[in-house]
Structure 1
Amino acid sequence: MDYDVIISGGGPVGLMLACELGLHGVRVGVLERLTEIDQTVKAGSVNTPTAEAFYRRGLLPALEEAQAETMKAFQAFMAQQGGAATAEQPKMSAFAGHFAALWLLGDLVDENDPDFADRGPAARLTAIRQQDVERVLGERAAELGVDVLRGVELTGFESSADGVVVRAGEREFRCGWLVGCDGGRSTVRRLAGFDFPGTPPMITGHQAIVSMEGAEGLGVGWTHTDTGIYANGPVPGRILTVEFDGPPEDRTTPVTAEELQASLRAVSGVDVTVTGVRSATRFTDNARQATTYRLGRVLLAGDAAHVHSPFGGQGLNLGIGDAVNLGWKLAAVIAGRSPEALLDTYTAERHPIGAWVLDWTRAQVLLMRPEARSRALRAVVSDLIGTTAGTTYFVKRISGVWQRYDLPGGHPMVGRSVPDLELADGTRIADHLHQGRGLLLDLGLDLAADPRVPSLPAKPVDARDFRALLIRPDGVVAWAGDTPDAALEEALATWF
């Protein structure tokens, strides 16, 4: 074999998966058709599970540096706008997210809600460009010895019980496993024959970074009109338009300044002139999901496994979650530590979260439509968002702190992200997860060492209602309790 695993697609999801595999010594090759990082405007924020994943792998310092640069650009834009607020949008200092372009105010969030507790330094990471995520992950992949082959595109493959032969033009590679992280129009998904049901698109959206004249008449942030929705900011030149008259006739041709100008004028009613285009893309609300994320030795992750509109910024986060869930499991199977059946838990755990994201974006499209029924429903949801309970609900859903896997065990922490406890020696839980291995955290039970997973005898700074935790490599609690029992052995056998 040339590689244990070949990943088709070197965006953030493919690179995160490559890093997770590389931590375990897996030989990984990443095939990426682009010769450099795509600068098209994409995701600009991360949710809590994504921030925790980066934090647990020691990537937080580099990403916080990138976040600081992003905030400088944001502050420059707001200074240019004079900090203006529109009828629908408060000043940005109060911003806690949005649902269907309805703004969520930070001072209405119940910060005492237990789902927000114990997130540690990961809570500091929120606003970061997708390109910066890709750059940091690319640097980490290189440190781990991952081969990232840019300008090389998968064109075909043959899969058998023994492995996969991958073709990239005239080149051929042999590998044990193939993972498609190659986006919403995934070649891997199509050639492997994955079912991909869902709902067809109803909108045409544009997102771009442009230079323009006459923008003084545009509102700042999200603005609803009788013909659609547009957004201006939060960085200079960033615009977004949404028209509800059907999908674009052609999504493959380059987006022109004339097309962006026509869309922005149609939705805003302002005679803006687009004088230059730095980056631009079209999008729709096409919402589809593979029925399974694995067929034999071929797997899917990220947009290859599920597509949806970008509303709510869930796409990057959903894909990183896929990569973190799959990486350690695939590494364990390759090393012979676990049977292939472990890979069945990948679809079982990630598919429900993907299905939720698709419905979350569908609901927002319905709520944003410029017609009487949607406006009536929008008024009701707006009233709910104006309450502490309502805002807290939406922020919890958007931030991802609600997410859990349906794992065996009666303790309420099982299946949830492990709290980032501060320990008496000055370390935190995340400090002990940098190598992508699991952890048996012993807070006073004097548990016997287990050869399957590292043990950490420790004392928490604050008292807790449990005395031991079994933590999977992805930071999910597999067992929690006060005494070792049969459930602990079952969890060790299942995951390690």
Structure 2
Amino acid sequence: MTTTSLDTDVLVIGAGPVGLITANLIGIRGHRATVLEARTGLIDYPRGVGLDDESIRTLVAADLWHAVEQFTVPNHVSRMVNGEGQVLATNDPQTTEFGFPRKHGFNQPVIDAELARGLDRFEGTELRFGHRVVGIEDNGDHVEVTAERVDETGTVTGTVTLTARYVVGCEGGSSFTRKQMGVEFEGKSPSTRWVVVDVEDDPLGTPNVYLGADPKRPYVSIGLPQGVRRWEFMLHDDEPTELVDDREFMNGLLSGMVPDPASLSIINQRTFTHHGRIASTFRKGNVFIAGDAAHLMPVWLGQGWNSGMRDATNLAWKLTAVLSGQAEDALLDTYTTERHKHASDMIDVNMAAGTVMKMKPFGGWVRDRLASALNLVPTWKSYFTELRFKPMPRYAAGVVVDQVTLTPGRAEATFKGGRLQPYVDSPGELSPVGLQFIQPRVNTADTTDALLDDVTGHWWVLATWGTNPTTYLTADDLAFCARHGITLVSFIPETQREWAEKKYAGSPAPVTVVGDTSGALKRWFDVRACGAIILRPDHFVAAATFNQQVSAALAAVRKAGALR
């Protein structure tokens, strides 16, 4: 339980998007968070530009999507083109399996501002600018954080020490927190430099993304919300960084993009280097790191911002579960276990994409012809179009239960020999455990055409297909569900919903009957060897099992999650 004498429950270092969303997720679940930011205000120049559907689920959980949506462009299409403008690959996924279009464009500063405003909703939660952290001391049952107060001139005006149960460092790639933890930051930092330039009143007006794999000079052109156009150009080794301050040089770069580069109104211009690095662990005692403090990846697939959102989503529910007394501290060890591998995989994919972008003339010639051949094969073409090369998060260890053996803490991806048990009649051979659950639109007694998360909530869910979820639960199971706020759900064909609502009205615990209006839920269960699932607060499948085994699966989830 939280020690009442502490200044805050969770102290977050860094007011970037990861730190802000972490604090919001802590606050919306009833705990205190304090955010310390060394700057005297939010960063006001554009950085991240790509928002995934997974991140939108997080924003919805924080009750912030309604404020953020207006600053996004859904269905952001990316095309990789060569030096002649030939399209090598198109990335335009049409799926909405998680409730929203897979890709959105956005302007980060305005969204960061909404995340910061969101903290005003929570009593005991605050954002302090001009606080540069200079000391972190983990005392076992609490952490002391010392910060220098810094004014707008950079002058130190004093120091302050705050105490918290946990600290989360979200202050970027040069993270003071990570250095204090003493963990390795493994990987590569290629020497290639890029200049990014953002202009207002988009002179092109084309709404999507072009990745220019031009051997002469690779570039990126991105249409963003609010009429902003972004370009990124690779600098050659013999071009000093200082050249980008010369408007004539910049006009030369832009001359191949627009008819009149001299008339452009530049609102932001920076030089950066891509990195591919990851910390060896994301936790040490009561101190954690998330976002760029934990991993850095190139920008090609727009996954830096979204990977940070995944970190915050994973860590925040676990911190709040421990703070509320629902789980033991051991639950927090699963944060690194679950997030490290996927972050590492995303770095590898982004580094590979960068290699494809920056090929020399001969390599580019081979690449272009290979791409032309692959585009003739529908399966390979859809591999790029539907973004299937991007690894989806799957937790093979952590708060998961193996579907075959019900072993807590681990989950195999497949069924050996394609069968779970002799009585399995599902055509599926893959286990859904460790994967994010779908989010179709559904009906209930109280709402029509709602997204699933809106009716099941953002905490634990135990759901069955076509039956009453209480049938095979014991009295102790039901007491455990009530104690942990586990929502009991029956997924049912919409044609049977009213019947089920009447029949389940006398259940030993409340049951939310969800009408499957589109058949998406039925199809999901149809190809997976299970009739019952247990969903975690982050909407990942912790366990999938037959109805008669649901009590045993619940006990295994309890052990895997160190739940009390």
What is the TM-score with the length of structure 2 in the denominator? 0.72
What does residue 493 of structure 1 align with? Answer: 559
Distance 1:12 1:349, change over 3 A: same
What does residue 317 of structure 1 align with? Answer: 306
Q: Which has the higher strand share?
A: 2
Inter-partner Cα distance in structure 2 for 1:445 and 1:96:
42
Distance 1:275 1:204, change over 3 A: same
Inter-partner Cα distance in structure 2 for 1:283 and 1:301:
21
Contact 1:31/1:153 (CA < 8 Å) preserved in 2? yes
Deviates more, 1:266-275 or 1:400-409: 266-275
Residue 403, structure 1, aligned to residue 393, structure 2:
yes
Q: Give the counterpart letter for 1:287 in structure 2.
A: G
* Structure 1 residue 154: Cα displacement: 1.6
What does residue 487 of structure 2 align with? Answer: 455
**Which is greater in Rg?**
2
Q: Give the counterpart letter for 1:409 in structure 2.
A: D
Deviates more, 1:397-406 or 1:125-134: 397-406
Contact 1:64/1:125 (CA < 8 Å) preserved in 2? no
Distance 1:214 1:143, change over 3 A: closer
Q: Give the counterpart letter for 1:168 in structure 2.
A: A
| Alignment partner of 1:441 out of 457, 463, 475 | 463
Q: How does 1:334-345 map to 2 (within 5 A)?
A: 334-345=323-334
| Alignment partner of 1:358 out of 347, 357, 360 | 347
* Partner SS, residue 155 of structure 1: strand
Q: Give the counterpart letter for 1:478 in structure 2.
A: A
Percent identity between the aligned chains? 25
Residue 414, structure 1, aligned to residue 433, structure 2:
yes
Residue 162, structure 1, aligned to residue 184, structure 2:
no
Distance 1:191 1:468, change over 3 A: same
Contact 2:143/2:163 (CA < 8 Å) preserved in 1? yes
* Partner SS, residue 153 of structure 1: strand
Q: Give the counterpart letter for 2:78 in structure 1.
A: G
Q: Give the counterpart letter for 2:113 in structure 1.
A: R
What is the TM-score with the length of structure 1 in the denominator? 0.82
Inter-partner Cα distance in structure 2 for 1:292 and 1:415:
20
Inter-partner Cα distance in structure 1 for 2:67 and 2:389:
21
Contact 2:195/2:233 (CA < 8 Å) preserved in 1? yes
Inter-partner Cα distance in structure 2 for 1:286 and 1:359:
11
Distance 1:255 1:243, change over 3 A: closer
Task: Deviation per CA, 1:170-189: give whole Å up to 9, x if none.
Answer: 11111121111001111211
Contact 1:206/1:260 (CA < 8 Å) preserved in 2? no
CA RMSD for the aligned pairs?
A: 3.5
What does residue 184 of structure 1 align with? Answer: 173
Distance 1:442 1:58, change over 3 A: farther
What does residue 206 of structure 1 align with? Answer: 195
Q: Give the counterpart letter for 1:454 in structure 2.
A: I
For structure 1, the 5+ residue unaligned runs are: 72-92
Contact 1:438/1:454 (CA < 8 Å) preserved in 2? yes
What does residue 81 of structure 1 align with? Answer: none
Task: Deviation per CA, 1:114-151: give whole Å up to 9, x if none.
Answer: xx46332x227722222233233223222133211122
Contact 2:169/2:178 (CA < 8 Å) preserved in 1? yes
Task: Deviation per CA, 1:184-219: give whole Å up to 9, x if none.
Answer: 111211222121011121311111224799999xxx
What does residue 238 of structure 1 align with? Answer: 229
* Structure 1 residue 6: Cα displacement: 0.7
Q: Give the counterpart letter for 1:165 in structure 2.
A: E
Task: Deviation per CA, 1:21-76: give whole Å up to 9, x if none.
Answer: 11222221001223333222222221221122223444333332222xx58xxxxx
Q: Give the counterpart letter for 1:415 in structure 2.
A: G
Inter-partner Cα distance in structure 1 for 2:81 and 2:352:
8
Inter-partner Cα distance in structure 2 for 1:288 and 1:382:
33
Distance 1:382 1:159, change over 3 A: farther
What does residue 3 of structure 1 align with? Answer: 8
| Alignment partner of 2:335 out of 318, 327, 346 | 346
Inter-partner Cα distance in structure 2 for 1:2 and 1:423:
42
* Structure 1 residue 270: Cα displacement: 9.0
Residue 388, structure 1, aligned to residue 401, structure 2:
no
Q: Give the counterpart letter for 1:97 in structure 2.
A: S
Q: Give the counterpart letter for 1:152 in structure 2.
A: H
Contact 1:51/1:125 (CA < 8 Å) preserved in 2? no
Contact 1:196/1:289 (CA < 8 Å) preserved in 2? yes
* Partner SS, residue 241 of structure 1: strand
Inter-partner Cα distance in structure 1 for 2:120 and 2:548:
41
* Partner SS, residue 35 of structure 2: strand
| Alignment partner of 1:171 out of 152, 160, 167 | 160
* Structure 1 residue 414: Cα displacement: 1.3
What does residue 85 of structure 1 align with? Answer: none
Inter-partner Cα distance in structure 2 for 1:456 and 1:153:
45
Task: Deviation per CA, 1:59-115: give whole Å up to 9, x if none.
Answer: 333332222xx58xxxxxxxxxxxxxxxxxxxxx9x7324688664478x6x6xxxx
What does residue 78 of structure 2 align with? Answer: 97
Q: How does 1:37-436 map to 2 (within 5 A)?
A: 37-67=42-72, 96-98=77-79, 104-105=89-90, 116=95, 118-120=97-99, 122-123=100-101, 126-145=104-123, 146-169=125-148, 170-210=159-199, 221-235=210-224, 238-243=229-234, 245-246=236-237, 256=245, 258=247, 261=250, 264=253, 272-273=261-262, 277-379=266-368, 380-385=370-375, 387-397=377-387, 402-406=392-396, 407-410=400-403, 412-425=431-444, 426=448, 427-432=450-455, 434=457, 436=458
Inter-partner Cα distance in structure 1 for 2:324 and 2:183:
27
Inter-partner Cα distance in structure 2 for 1:455 and 1:214:
51
Inter-partner Cα distance in structure 2 for 1:274 and 1:440:
59
Inter-partner Cα distance in structure 1 for 2:203 and 2:323:
58
Distance 1:187 1:286, change over 3 A: same
What does residue 502 of structure 2 align with? Answer: none
Inter-partner Cα distance in structure 1 for 2:19 and 2:374:
38
Distance 1:211 1:177, change over 3 A: closer
Inter-partner Cα distance in structure 1 for 2:386 and 2:261:
37
Inter-partner Cα distance in structure 1 for 2:195 and 2:220:
10
Distance 1:428 1:286, change over 3 A: closer
* Partner SS, residue 126 of structure 1: strand
Distance 1:386 1:180, change over 3 A: farther
Distance 1:173 1:283, change over 3 A: same
* Structure 1 residue 287: Cα displacement: 1.2
Contact 1:100/1:367 (CA < 8 Å) preserved in 2? no
Inter-partner Cα distance in structure 2 for 1:4 and 1:254:
47
Q: Give the counterpart letter for 2:143 in structure 1.
A: V
Q: Give the counterpart letter for 1:294 in structure 2.
A: R
Distance 1:142 1:249, change over 3 A: farther
Q: Give the counterpart letter for 1:341 in structure 2.
A: A
Distance 1:237 1:338, change over 3 A: closer
* Partner SS, residue 337 of structure 1: coil
Q: Give the counterpart letter for 1:27 in structure 2.
A: R
